[in-house]
Amino acid sequence: MARITTVEFPVFSDIIVHVELTNDFDKTLSKYPCIEHMTGNNEDCEAMTVYGHSGCVIFMFLKPNVSVGTIAHESWHAIRAMFESIGVEIENETVAYHLGYLVNKVFRFVRGKK
């Protein structure tokens, strides 16, 4: 059974990162019409981040035993997608703040500490 949470950003409230722990990426992807085209050949994935067509939802799918390094890696993809979709410059401190915020939220969720 998948566990799901969402992360919202205080400054960029139009963007939501949907985080889902799952062992079956293809089955999980097929639940979401805007990204179901990504199914196929995902059985070896430990994690993936994909962007919905609306630009408002970023999906992050992780295996339940994901490492913090993988969380950081996928969080970078999510932050970059968020910044690009709303036209924010990828600048050192702004990226660092939002990346740290997302990694912390996802790490606490994965470890069951919401």
Question: Is the separation of the CB atoms in 63 and 71 below 8 Å?
Answer: no
pTM of the model: 0.90
What is residue 48's DSSP assignment? Answer: E
pLDDT tens-digit series, residues 27-59: 888 888 888 878 777 777 889 999 866 667 899
Tens-place pLDDT, residues 61-106 = 999 999 999 999 999 999 999 998 888 889 899 999 999 999 999 9
CA–CA dist 108, 84 (Å, integer) = 26
- Cβ neighbours around 112 below 10 Å, total: 7
The secondary element (H helix, E strand) that includes residue 28 is: helix 25-29
State the DSSP code for 37: G
How far apart CA 28 and CA 19 sit, in angstroms, is 11
CB 56 within 8 A of CB 14: yes
pLDDT at 26 over 70: yes
**Mean pLDDT across the stretch 2-29?**
88
Cβ neighbors of 5 (< 8 A, separation 6 or more) are 19, 105, 109, 114
